[in-house]
């Protein structure tokens, strides 16, 4: 499933080292076929989409994250969601896994948030833990 609708709209991604690229490819291979009941519609070596829900591997740490920012710890994976996105349940949300590298971001459009972002992060925890290197815990 190379670049069809979902993953082709990704912004320019930074280049990855050989080890990061390999880890991202392994992660994409290990992702569930369905996420929150939505079937995977697209994937490549760094991205996957379940309809409008998109996961990208090898992203930068979010600008909003600092040492005082809280993380959501779900099944031993720490996810950061900017405060504004946590507070605005009617808007898009992007959760970034900061306890494993390369970093992974899950973008959930507003229309898909009712499927349960926490449920999606729970379903992604096992492949993130098994395919990516653990780093420092986030707060």
Q: Band of the pLDDT at 8, cuts 50, 70, 90?
A: very low
φ/ψ of residue 108, rounded to 5? -120, 110
35-51: pLDDT as tens digits: 999 999 999 999 999 99
Q: Band of the pLDDT at 11, cuts 50, 70, 90?
A: low
CA distance 77 to 100: 8
The predicted pLDDT at position 139 comes to 65
Q: Enter the pTM of the model.
A: 0.88
Mean pLDDT of 116-126: 95
Region of 47 please: left (phi>0), alpha (psi -120 to 50) or beta. beta
Mean pLDDT of 62-89: 90
Over the range 61-72, which residues count as b (16 or more CB within 10 Å of their CB) and which as e?
A: ebeebeeeeebe
């Amino acid at each position: 499933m190379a670049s069809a609708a979902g993953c082709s709209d990704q912004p320019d991604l930074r280049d990855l080292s050989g080890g990061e690229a390999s880890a991202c490819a392994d992660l994409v291979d290990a992702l569930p076929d369905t996420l929150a009941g939505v079937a995977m519609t697209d994937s490549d070596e760094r991205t996957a989409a379940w309809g409008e829900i998109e996961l990208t591997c090898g992203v930068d740490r979010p600008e909003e994250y600092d040492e005082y920012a809280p993380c959501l710890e779900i099944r031993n994976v720490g996810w950061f969601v900017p405060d504004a996105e946590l507070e605005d349940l009617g808007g898009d949300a992007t959760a970034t896994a900061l306890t494993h590298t390369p970093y992974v971001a899950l973008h959930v459009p507003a229309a898909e948030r009712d499927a349960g972002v926490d449920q999606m992060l729970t379903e992604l925890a096992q492949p993130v833990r098994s395919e990516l290197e653990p780093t420092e815990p986030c707060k």
